[in-house]
Amino acid sequence: MTGDYMRQLSFRLLEINLSDRTIAVIELPSEWIREYIGGRGLGTRMLWERTKQEADPLAPEAEMYILTGPLTGVIPGGAHICLTFKSPLTGNTIGFSVTGAQWGPELKYAGYDGIILKGKSLKPVYLMIKDDVVEIKDAGHLWGTTTWQTQQLIKEELKDDHFKVLAIGPAGENLVSFASIGQEQFRAAARCGSGTVWGSKGLKAVAVRGTNPVRTFDLPGVIKARGELEKLLLSNRTNHPRGYELVRYGNSISLTAHNDEGRLVTKNYQEGYFEGINEVGGLKYDLRYYAKSRSCFGCPLGCMKLGMVRDGIFAGNIVCPDFDSTANIGPGCNIPDLGSMVYLSRWADEQGLDATSLGNITGFAMECYEKGILSLEDLDGIKLEWGNTAAILELWRKIVNREGIGDILAKGVKYAAQAIGNGADKLAMHCKGVEFPGFVPQGGHKKGLQYAISDRGPCHHYGSTIDEQNQRVWADSLTVCSWQRRLVDPQIYMDLLKTVMGWDIELTEWDVTAERMLLLARAYNIREGIIPEKDDILPERVHTEPLTKGKKAGSVYPLEKFIADRLRWYEERGCDATGVPKIEHLEEIGLAFTIPVINKFTRGLTST
Amino acid sequence: MLGRLDVRYEQCTGCRACQMACAINKENQLWPEAARINVKQVGLGPLDIPISCHQCSDHPCVVACPEKVKALSYDPESGIVRVNEEKCLRTQGFHCQKCFRACPGERITYHPKKEIPLFCDLCDGKPACVAACGPQALSYNLDPCFESRHLNRTALEIARGLTVKVFGREEIK
C-alpha cells in the first residue's frame, strides 16, 4: 500500500456556489467523518457548523448537503444519499431526505463523496458532473418541465443514457413548501421540502456520470466483506420473512397489514381502518397491475414494484406505488379505486411533490369542505368530496401553479389551517409544521410518540424505540437501505468500515455515535428556535377523538400516556424533563461544542 | 464449447450487482464501469436491459476489425472473442469503433481507462454475474441452440418487446 492508501480515507466534497458560479473541491476534517460517519450524521454536523443561526431556509446563503456515506456504491443496497438542509416547511428545524436508486453510487464513481450547494442562480441552471468535469449549465429550456421530462431531456442533451439525474418539477420551481426531488421517475427525496430549496436556488437538476473505481483503504478486505453481505442478502430473498415480503410484494402490501392493526390513515386521520382496503391494497395491486420489480444499486431484493394501470380512466399509465406514497392519498382521501390511487401517486412524482404531505393536505381540505369550513367558493368551485379523483387533480394543479386555494395549501397544512381559520387548525394533522405520514397515532401509540419526538417532524423513518432509532440513523449515515436493519447484523457494517475507511472501530461505538448524531439534530433544532416541551407535541385530535372502526375502535392516545411516554424517551436519550439534552451527557458523547447554545436556551427559559 | 449467458429481461431489477461482480472478478476493483456486462436503462419505468457480448458464431466484430490490425480473434474452441491489447488501435489513441459498429446488438463497451473493447469470456464457464444476480435474470445456458445470432439485439429492440411482455401493451405513458 502506498500514498493515498496508507492513511485513513477522508471525504472529498464538491462545493458549488450558484451565485458566482464557482466550483471547488474540498476535504472535510477527518474527525468529523470519524465521529459522524457520513450521510445524515455528517450533514447534521455540517449544518450546525456552516450555517448561521436563524437563517432563512430559502435565502441564497442557505446550504444543502447531498452526502453519500462510506458504504455507498460499495455494498449491495448501499445506494442511498441523504440531503440535509434547513427545512423550508417548518422554518426552524433540520430537514433531511433520503433517496436510493443509482445516483449516490454514480457520484461516488465520479470521485466525490458529496456536494455542497449554496448561493442562488439568477437564471435556471442545472449541474453536470462527469468525473473531473463539473459544469453549471443553462436550464432555461428545462424550466417548467416535469421531473420525468427533465431527466429524459438532459440525457438526450448530454448524449449519454448512463447519466443519473436528480431533478425538481414545476412544484419545486414554484416554491411549493413540500416539493420533492425525483430520480428514475419514481424515486424521490421527498420530505421536508428538499425540492423547494432547489427551486429557491434556481437549480433544476444535477446530472452525474462516474467512470472511476471506488477508493478504499483495504481493497481485498472490502471485497471479502461485501461478498459475505451479498451472500447473506441473496439468501434472505427466500429465507427471511421480511426479505421475502419485499421480493414478492414490495412494501405497498403493508397497507393491508397496518389496516388490520387499525392504524392506517383514513379520511384525514378520523379513522384507523379503511373499509375499501381490498380494493386498493397491495394484494390487488399484485394481481391486477404488477409488471416487474426494480432495485436500488446492488440490492438483490428489488422491492419497487413497477406496474401498469390496466383498467379505468387512467389505463395505460405506468405506476410504481409504495406504502408512503399511497397511504395518505388513497385511504387518507378515501379513494376507493386502485387505479386512481396509484395514478395520483405517480402524478405527484412527475410534478415533484411529496406524495405524503400532499395526500395529508388534500385529506385536510376535504374534511374542511365536509365540515363546511371551506365552501365551494373558497375552493374556486372544486367539489372536493371524499374520494373525488377529478376534484383532487384539479386542486393539485392549483397547488402546483399556486393559484387561489392552491396557493394557501402549497405552504403546508400548518400555514393553511391558520390562513383558513374557523376551527381548521383542529383538523390539521402535523407536528412542527410537517404533515403526518400514513399512521394514525390513536391506533399505534409508538408511531405517535415518534411523530412528536422526531427531529425533522413526524415520520416513521425516525424509529420508535431507542434501538430502532439507532439503527435507522446509522443506516442513513453509512449509507445503506434502512430496511437492511432487520436482515443484517451491525457487526458486518463495522467490519466493512474497518476495511473501507481504515478505521479502528468497534461495535461498542454503535449506540454512542447514533446518540451523538440524534442529539446534535435536537440541539440544532433548539438553536433554531424549537422549544422541545412545546413543540414535541401531537394535535389535540389524537388525544381526544377515539377511533370508531377496526381493531383499535374506541382508542385514543391519552395525553397523560403520551406525556409519560415522551418523558421516558427523554430520560433514555439523556435529556431533561423538558426535552433538552443534559449538559454532562452532551460532554460525554462529544457534543461539547453545543453546550453554549443549550445553556443560553435554558437560561432564556428560566428568565421568562 | 462454452455455454451462453441467458437473460430473462423481465426479471432484471436493474441493480447492477452483475456489473460489480464482473468488475471484481475481472479487474479486481469496485468498478462497475469496467465490467463486461452493462445494465442500460431504457424508456419509461425505466426498463433495465443487461447487455454483454453474445459470442455470435459468425462474430461480425472480428470480421470488422481492420485487416492490418486484427486485434480481435475468435476462439472456435470456446466461442470467445479475444482482444490483443497491444494491437488495438484504441490503445494507440485512435478513436476506432469498427467492432462496436459491426455488432448487431451494439453491445460492445470500452474500458474507461485502457480504452480496449470489453468482451464477456463467460469466466471459463462459471460466470460471476450469474452468481450475483438476486432475481435470477441471468443464467448460464448450455443448450447449443442458444447461441443463435438473432438473440443478439440492441437494448432498444429488447425493450420494445419487453414493454409488450410486462405491461401488456405497446403504447405506455
Arithmetic mean of pLDDT, A440-467: 93
Q: Encode burial over A522-533: b for 16+ CB neighbours within 10 A, e otherwise.
A: bbbbbbbebbbb
Residue A153 has pLDDT above 80, yes or no: yes
Give me the residue from A222, A223, A301 closest to B134, CB to CB: A301
Q: Please indicate if any CB of chain B lies within 8 Å of the CB of A234.
A: yes
Q: Please indicate if any CB of chain B lies within 8 Å of the CB of A219.
A: yes
Residue A5: which pLDDT band, with cuts at 50, 70 and 90?
Answer: very low
Give me the residue from B15, B41, B47 closest to A302, CB to CB: B15
Q: Please indicate if any CB of chain B lies within 8 Å of the CB of A222.
A: yes
Residue A6: which pLDDT band, with cuts at 50, 70 and 90?
Answer: very low
Q: Please indicate if any CB of chain A lies within 8 Å of the CB of B164.
A: no
Average pLDDT, chain A: 94
Residue B36: give the domain boundaries: 4-157
- Closest chain B C-alpha to A152 CA, distance in angstroms: 9
Q: How far apart are CA A233 and CA A432, in angstroms?
A: 38
- Domain parsing of chain A, residue ranges: 3-209, 225-435
Report phi then psi at B144, rounded to 5.
-60, -25
Arithmetic mean of pLDDT, A462-468: 93
Where is average pLDDT lowest: A248-257, A344-353, A577-586?
Answer: A248-257
- Are A300 and A233 contacting, i.e. CB atoms less than 8 angstroms apart? yes
Check residue A2 and give its pLDDT: 38
Binding-face residues of B in 115-154 toward A, CB within 8 A: 132-135
Q: Which fold has domain A225-435?
A: 1.10.569
| C-alpha dist (Å) from residue A138 to A18, A24, A166, A202 | 12, 19, 16, 10
Check residue A608 and give its pLDDT: 57
Q: Which fold has domain A3-209?
A: Aldehyde Ferredoxin Oxidoreductase;  A, domain 1 (3.60.9)
Q: Please indicate if any CB of chain A lies within 8 Å of the CB of B25.
A: no
Does B22 map to a domain? yes
**Interface predicted TM-score (ipTM):** 0.94
pLDDT tens per residue, range B80-106: 999 999 999 999 999 999 999 999 999
Residue B42 has pLDDT above 70, yes or no: yes
Verify whether the Cβ–Cβ distance B10 to A292 is below 8 Å: yes
Residue A1 has pLDDT above 70, yes or no: no
Q: Please indicate if any CB of chain A lies within 8 Å of the CB of B10.
A: yes
Question: What one-letter code names the amino acid at A2?
Answer: T
Report phi then psi at A578, rounded to 5.
-95, 5
- Are A165 and A205 contacting, i.e. CB atoms less than 8 angstroms apart? yes
Q: Please indicate if any CB of chain B lies within 8 Å of the CB of A296.
A: yes
pLDDT tens per residue, range A533-569: 999 999 999 999 999 999 999 999 999 999 999 999 9
Check residue A519 and give its pLDDT: 97
Give me the residue from A212, A247, A296 closest to B15, CB to CB: A296
Arithmetic mean of pLDDT, A155-173: 96
- Are A208 and A127 contacting, i.e. CB atoms less than 8 angstroms apart? no
Angle at A270 between CA A268 and CA A276, to 5 degrees: 80
Give which of B12, B20, B173 to mutate to test A binding, by max A Cβ within 10 Å. Answer: B20
**Cis peptide preceding A479, ω within 30 of 0:** yes
Return the biggest CA–CA distance within chain A.
73
Number of domains in chain B: 1
Residue A8: which pLDDT band, with cuts at 50, 70 and 90?
Answer: low
Pairing of strands A187-189, A304-308: unpaired
Verify whether the Cβ–Cβ distance A299 to B134 is below 8 Å: yes
Does B171 map to a domain? no
Q: Which residue has the higher pLDDT, B45 or A580?
A: A580
Average pLDDT, chain B: 92
Write out the three cell numbers for A141: 429550456
Q: How far apart are CA A546 and CA B154, in angstroms?
A: 59
Arithmetic mean of pLDDT, A204-208: 97
pLDDT tens per residue, range B55-81: 888 899 999 999 999 999 999 888 899
Spell out the alpha helix ranges (H) of A168-316: 170-173, 194-201, 219-239, 241-248, 254-260, 277-280, 282-288
Where is average pLDDT lowest: A45-59, A312-326, A574-588, B148-162?
Answer: B148-162
Give me the residue from B11, B28, B134 closest to A237, CB to CB: B134
Q: Please indicate if any CB of chain B lies within 8 Å of the CB of A233.
A: yes
Report phi then psi at A355, rounded to 5.
-60, -30
pLDDT tens per residue, range A574-608: 999 999 999 999 999 999 999 999 999 999 877 65
Residue A4: which pLDDT band, with cuts at 50, 70 and 90?
Answer: very low
Give me the residue from B11, B16, B30 closest to A213, CB to CB: B30
Arithmetic mean of pLDDT, A358-383: 95
Arithmetic mean of pLDDT, A510-532: 96
Give which of B13, B25, B40, B154 to mutate to test A binding, by max A Cβ within 10 Å. Answer: B13
Torsion angle defined by CA atoms of residues A170, A173, A175 and A178, in that order, rounded to the nearest 10 degrees: 50
Give me the residue from A211, A299, A308 closest to B167, CB to CB: A308
Find the closest chain A residue to B173 by CA distance.
Answer: A317
| C-alpha dist (Å) from residue A4 to A7, A29, A132, A215, A356 | 6, 16, 18, 9, 44
Residue B146 has pLDDT above 80, yes or no: no
Q: Which residue has the higher pLDDT, A154 or A28?
A: A154
Angle between helices A241-248 and A219-239 (to 10 degrees): 80
Residue A3: which pLDDT band, with cuts at 50, 70 and 90?
Answer: very low
Q: Please indicate if any CB of chain A lies within 8 Å of the CB of B66.
A: no
Taking contacts as CB-CB distances below 8 angstroms, the residues of chain A near B41 are 161, 184
Q: Within its chain, how far is the Cα of A225 from the centroid? A: 29
**Cis peptide preceding A105, ω within 30 of 0:** no
